[in-house]
Amino acid sequence: MIDILNALALLANFVIVPALAYGSQLALGALGVTMIYAVLRFSNFAHGETMSFGAMISVLSTWGLQEAGITIGSLPTALLALPISIVATVCVCLLSDRLIYRYYRTQKAAPVTYLIISVGVLFILSGVIRFIIGPKDQIFADGQRFILKARAFKEMTGLDQGLAIKTTQGVTVITAVVIVALLFWFLNQTRTGKSMRAYSDNEELALLSGINPARVVMITWIITGALAAIAGTLYGLDKGYKPFTYLGLVLPIFSAAIVGGVGNPVGAIFGGFVIAFSEMLLTFAYKRVIAYLTPGEWVPDGLMQLLATDYKLAVSFVILVIVLLIKPTGMFSGKTL
Amino acid sequence: MTERLRNSLLFAGMAALLVAVGVFQSANLALAILNLCLISAIMALGVNIQWGYAGLFNAGVMGFTALGGLAAVIISVPPVTEAWVAGGLRAVSGLVLGVLTIALGILTWKKLSLGKTARGWTSALIIVTGVIAMRWVVDPAVEAIEAVEPAKTGFLGGFGLPIMFAWMAGGALAALAAWAIGKISLGLRSDYLAIATLGISEIIIYVLKNEDWLARGVKNVNGLPRPVPYEIELQATLWVQNLASRLDINLIELSSIIVKLCYAGLFVVVLALIYWLSERALRSPWGRMMRAIRDNETAAGAMGKNVTSRHLQVFILGSAVIGIAGAMLTTLDGIFTPSTYQPLRFTFLVWVMVIVGGSGNNLGSILGGFVIWFFWIEAEPLGLGLINFFTSSMAEDSALRIHLLQNAAYTRYITMGVVLLLVLRFSPRGLIPERNR
């Protein structure tokens, strides 16, 4: 019995807790992609860079706040910086729409044109980010490092295996839950949210019923910018801010959105966790878990790892391919907001 | 102004820019830029075949380029005999097993007369078992291969053939990858191809970085054989020495200029050949059909054209051209470094070339390749100069100024983005627009 609990603690420590945090980050990212897809109908390749921009503003504001001596005790200061970052990222999104995307809406451009435009935005944003903060890594998490320390867990339960929960992981999951709840309340309960869903569902019908398209588009960009800033900051807080990693995040985020069904917010959240858990489960070395679960002192020879950790990215790609082959519309048939 | 005159002027302007670099900076630099311009032009031609002819968005140019580079290694490096003895056969048979497994899995999925769920689980079972079996066969072999003098080799090596063969092999390898990815994602919505190619290119780079037995991973393979003479050899020959004294330039510099000229000659031949073939294809009934499909898929489909399989064809062709360019690039560098492949530089920059040059026009893609590569290289000194100029009123040790100067190199990302957006907005057909036929 104690062995099973030990195995569970091991799994929780190395798979479940990190996957929950990573999944929340992916889900928030995928929500942004999905919102843009549902309303503006294109795949925004610049979303990773938008997240990176939000994270950068958080890093800079965190430094500013720390300089001024403003912190919030055991929680990371970045939480205080988050509103500043949201405002800045939303401004960037609205500006890019006003200066760039809006013109192509009046031209009724093809989705693939938007795709190329988003590549242009991607270039500019990554240039601006590296110009401002440079290409190096920045660590900006402060406050208490752990909510639950491995040793405290061991003493509490008397198990051999420790379970540690980092503050950043806890903050990530809680923030994600709050944000998702707010978003769904907005989409389902408010008049504006309903008009957005109507617009996404059937553009012409929505226009006929007097919905203002410019307003819907503006609100979509505001929500997307806010989601990107939050997701980027949480990811940077958890793993350290590296400007180069965000372009690589685009693939798992798109996979998450497609797995769930592009344009479907529930699907995006679901997809984020599917991707995160598959990555963690497939690249985890099961050696010690199996040792606990099998009777006696037997320990397997190899690491019992299905896939080398370096191939994390391949997991999201394989999932994407399977979904494309079997059900291209995703689990929650896409394109309804 | 006739079209021909206009195009000639554009190319003459480009040549003048390169000559200016030769005069004001150095001839060596100008030739180095020229060589990469030529390779970029070939990449742009490849993307143009996919985007300009058929409207396919390939976001995985980087991956196909890297496959070309891998081909350069596999073809040209002499085989590492000890590594083959240690585990070559086992590794290869493991890979064959893997391919067979996937084929069998797909065959089961397609041909077995069961319900959809049952078929799915059967093929999944076959693939999972096969992958585990493959790992069981391959893993010890990989370990053995990587243990053979890891500081010097630790990989299987290649065939030891002249490196020029790699240019064709690179094309073939890229075509193979394109076939696999096209089979999966063509016929679905256009965004899916973009995302799938983005994914496959990242994975190709990860594989190249981590599978040391293949091409040494991040330890890089250097000293690849060359298709042209070495500088040292040239410096020892009499005519080069004579030429140097007659032209009154440094012997070392002259030898490096000659080497670069040799490369340029080879690249020009390849570029001309690919350009000629692409133009032939574009003017043929096949090209007309591709344009018809691009402009209206539904109508072309209704006329009995098999849209998906034509798309697959053109996707493979374009990727093969990119693979050739990738092999040429690695040949020019003489070193294969998987970690240098970055999507902004290898995928999206090529896209800027095609759009700026004029999508659908081969000549335009070549010009775009030249112009964009030129400014990609020259944007750095230009940006530095501009920042120096604007901050000249600040104190020498001003933190802001130092910071700006340090990060000046990144202005080129901003420049490229702005150029792309401006062209798309104000001249969406590019520098040399597609001809109406």
B277-301 confidence digits (pLDDT tens): 999 998 999 999 999 998 888 999 9
Enumerate long-range contacts of A16-21, CB under 8 Å, 24 or more apart: A17/A163, A17/A164, A17/A165, A17/A169, A18/A169, A18/A280, A19/A273, A19/A276, A19/A277, A19/A279, A19/A280, A19/A281, A20/A169, A20/A173, A20/A273, A20/A276, A21/A166, A21/A168, A21/A169, A21/A172, A21/A173, A21/A238
Whether the CB of B192 is below 8 Å from some CB of chain A: the reply is yes
Whether the CA torsion A218, A219, A223, A229 is positive or negative: it is positive
Tell me what the mean pLDDT of segment A53-69 comes to: 92
Of B192, B407, B413, the CB nearest to A324: B192
User: Within 13 A of B71's CA, how many CA atoms are on the CB side?
Assistant: 29
- The answer to whether B2 touches B231, Cβ cutoff 8 Å, is no
Tell me what the mean pLDDT of segment A4-25 comes to: 89
Residues of B in contact with A311 (CB under 8 A): 203, 206, 210
Rounded to the nearest angstrom, the minimum Cα separation between A73 and chain B is 31
Task: Give the per-residue pLDDT at A336.
Answer: 45
Mean pLDDT of chain B: 89
Return the minimum-mean-pLDDT range out of A99-103, B182-186, B426-430: B182-186
- In-domain check, residue A116: yes
Q: What is the pLDDT of residues B380-403, one digit of tens each?
A: 788 788 888 887 777 777 777 788
Which band of pLDDT confidence, cut at 50, 70 and 90, is reported for residue B133? Answer: confident
C-alpha distance from residue A4 to each of A168, A281, A292, B225 (Å): 28, 18, 7, 58
Residues of B in contact with A251 (CB under 8 A): 195, 198-199, 202
Q: Cα B80 from chain centroid?
A: 27
Which residue did the predictor score with more confidence, B13 or B388? B13
- The answer to whether B28 touches B256, Cβ cutoff 8 Å, is yes
Residues of A in contact with B418 (CB under 8 A): 120, 124
Top mean pLDDT of A211-215, B153-157, B248-252 is at A211-215
Of A43, A103, A130, the CB nearest to B413: A130
Task: Give the per-residue pLDDT at A241.
Answer: 92
- Report d(CA B201, CA B195) in Å as an integer: 10
Residues of A in contact with B404 (CB under 8 A): 131
- In-domain check, residue A306: no
Look at residue B315 and tell me whether its pLDDT is greater than 60.
yes
Neighbours of A143 (CB within 10 A): 16
Tell me what the mean pLDDT of segment B211-234 comes to: 87
- In-domain check, residue A213: yes
Bridge partner list, B222: B335
Residues of A in contact with B420 (CB under 8 A): 116, 119-120, 123
Q: What is the pLDDT of residues B331-361, one digit of tens each?
A: 999 999 999 999 989 999 999 999 999 988 9
Enumerate long-range contacts of B181-189, CB under 8 Å, 24 or more apart: B181/B60, B182/B311, B182/B312, B182/B315, B182/B316, B183/B312, B184/A321, B184/A324, B184/A325, B185/A324, B186/B56, B186/B308, B186/B311, B186/B312, B186/B315, B187/B307, B187/B308, B187/B311, B188/A324, B188/A328, B189/A328
Residues of B in contact with A248 (CB under 8 A): 202
Interface of B with A in 56-75 (CB under 8 A): 57, 59
Structural domain of A146: 2-246
- Report d(CA A258, CA A39) in Å as an integer: 16
Q: Cα A24 from chain centroid?
A: 6
> What is the three-class DSSP state of B188?
strand
Return the minimum-mean-pLDDT range out of A72-86, A112-126, B136-150: B136-150
Look at residue A337 and tell me whether its pLDDT is greater than 50.
no
Q: What is the pLDDT of residues A98-131, one digit of tens each?
A: 999 999 999 888 888 999 999 999 999 999 999 8
Task: Give the per-residue pLDDT at A141.
Answer: 81
Within B334-361, where are the H helices? 343, 349-357
Tell me what the mean pLDDT of segment A8-32 comes to: 92
Q: Cα B390 from chain centroid?
A: 37
Region of A305 please: left (phi>0), alpha (psi -120 to 50) or beta.
beta
Residues of B in contact with A305 (CB under 8 A): none
Mutate to test the interface with B, among A117, A119, A303 (most CBs of B within 10 A): A119
- In-domain check, residue A330: no
Task: Give the per-residue pLDDT at A273.
Answer: 95
Interface of A with B in 92-121 (CB under 8 A): 100, 103, 111-113, 115-117, 119-121
- Report d(CA A224, CA A20) in Å as an integer: 22
Whether the CB of B384 is below 8 Å from some CB of chain A: the reply is no
Whether the CB of A325 is below 8 Å from some CB of chain B: the reply is yes
- In-domain check, residue A283: no
- In-domain check, residue A327: no
C-alpha distance from residue A295 to each of A4, B83, B90 (Å): 11, 40, 34
- Report d(CA B119, CA A303) in Å as an integer: 32
Whether the CA torsion B419, B420, B426, B432 is positive or negative: it is positive
Look at residue B1 and tell me whether its pLDDT is greater than 70.
no
- In-domain check, residue A325: no
Look at residue B322 and tell me whether its pLDDT is greater than 80.
yes
The residue of chain B nearest to residue A44, with distances taken between CA atoms, is: B191
Whether the CA torsion A279, A280, A285, A290 is positive or negative: it is negative
Tell me what the mean pLDDT of segment A300-326 comes to: 80
Put simply, the answer to whether A314 touches B206 (Cβ < 8 Å) is: yes
Query: How big is chain B by its Cα radius of gyration, in Å?
Result: 24
Task: Give the per-residue pLDDT at B437.
Answer: 66
- The answer to whether A332 touches A260, Cβ cutoff 8 Å, is yes
Put simply, the answer to whether B417 touches A321 (Cβ < 8 Å) is: no
Rounded to the nearest angstrom, the minimum Cα separation between A133 and chain B is 9
Tell me what the mean pLDDT of segment B65-86 comes to: 90
Put simply, the answer to whether A255 touches B199 (Cβ < 8 Å) is: yes
Region of B189 please: left (phi>0), alpha (psi -120 to 50) or beta.
beta
| Amino acid, res. A230 | I
Q: Diameter of chain A by CA atoms?
A: 72
Tally of domains in chain A: 1
The residue of chain A nearest to residue B207, with distances taken between CA atoms, is: A311
- Report d(CA A232, CA A228) in Å as an integer: 6
Tell me what the mean pLDDT of segment A90-98 comes to: 96
Look at residue B102 and tell me whether its pLDDT is greater than 60.
yes
Q: What is the pLDDT of residues A138-175, one digit of tens each?
A: 888 887 778 888 788 888 887 778 888 888 899 999 99
Which band of pLDDT confidence, cut at 50, 70 and 90, is reported for residue B132? Answer: confident
- In-domain check, residue A271: no
Residues above pLDDT 90, as percent of chain B = 46
Which band of pLDDT confidence, cut at 50, 70 and 90, is reported for residue A18? Answer: very high
Query: In terms of C-beta density within 10 A (0-12 exposed, 13-18 middle, 19 or more buried), how is residue B382 classed?
Result: middle
**DSSP assignments along B385-432, one per residue:** HHHHHHTTTS-TT-HHHHHHHHTGGGHHHHHHHHHHHHHHHH-TT-SS
